[in-house]
Every structure is written in structure tokens, then in C-alpha cells.
Amino acid sequence: MLRSHPQVERILCGHLHRSIQARFGGTIASTCPSPAHQVALDLSDGARDDFIMEPPGYHLHWWNGRRVITHTAVIGEYDGPYPFRAGGVLID
């Protein structure tokens, strides 16, 4: 069904307690992280259903008039920001 509708830019789903993106039906399907705990990332066969106290997060979707741009951000206070360029030159 999706392939017959090429105007579908993206399928956005939230929250799945983990940020996941996959090509699906000729577009991209994207799930949002949780504003609480996350599902533990264990891709092995028979993995347990566990959660992990990774930082909470969210997706910010921005339509620039041509396409959707998605930013994944974590919630909380963290050190920084720290510059990595000074006067246009990369800091070693």
C-alpha cells in the first residue's frame, strides 16, 4: 500500500522506548525514544525483555518545505557544550 503512495515522506511512531529507524514500504519508519527508561538493546536470539536506565529522549521533527529532518535529543543536564573549532580551525 505504501509503495503506491510515494508522497508519504515518513512513518513516525512514538514512543517505543528506543529510537529505531528502518526502510519500510518505500519510505522510512521511525520510532521515538521514551521520556523515561529505554528497552535494553540486545539483538541476540532469545534476548530477555529488559529495560535500561539510558537517558530519556525525544524526536524533534522539522519540515523545511522539502523534506522531514529528525533530530534525536536526550533529556537532562550534561556537561558542555564544548567548542571543537576555534577561528574556523579544528581543535586537537
Which sequence spans correspond to the domains of the chain? 2-77
Ranges of beta strands (E only) in 1-92 are: 10-13, 20-24, 27-31, 38-39, 51-52, 57-63, 68-74, 85-86, 89-90
Contact (Cβ atoms closer than 8 angstroms) between residue 40 and residue 20 = no
- Residue type present at position 35: P
The answer, yes or no, to whether the previous bond of 83 is cis (omega within 30 of 0) is no
pTM (two decimals)? 0.73
Tens-place pLDDT, residues 1-19: 888 998 888 899 887 899 9
Name the residue with cell 503506491: 4
Tens-place pLDDT, residues 34-68: 999 999 999 999 999 999 999 999 999 999 998 88
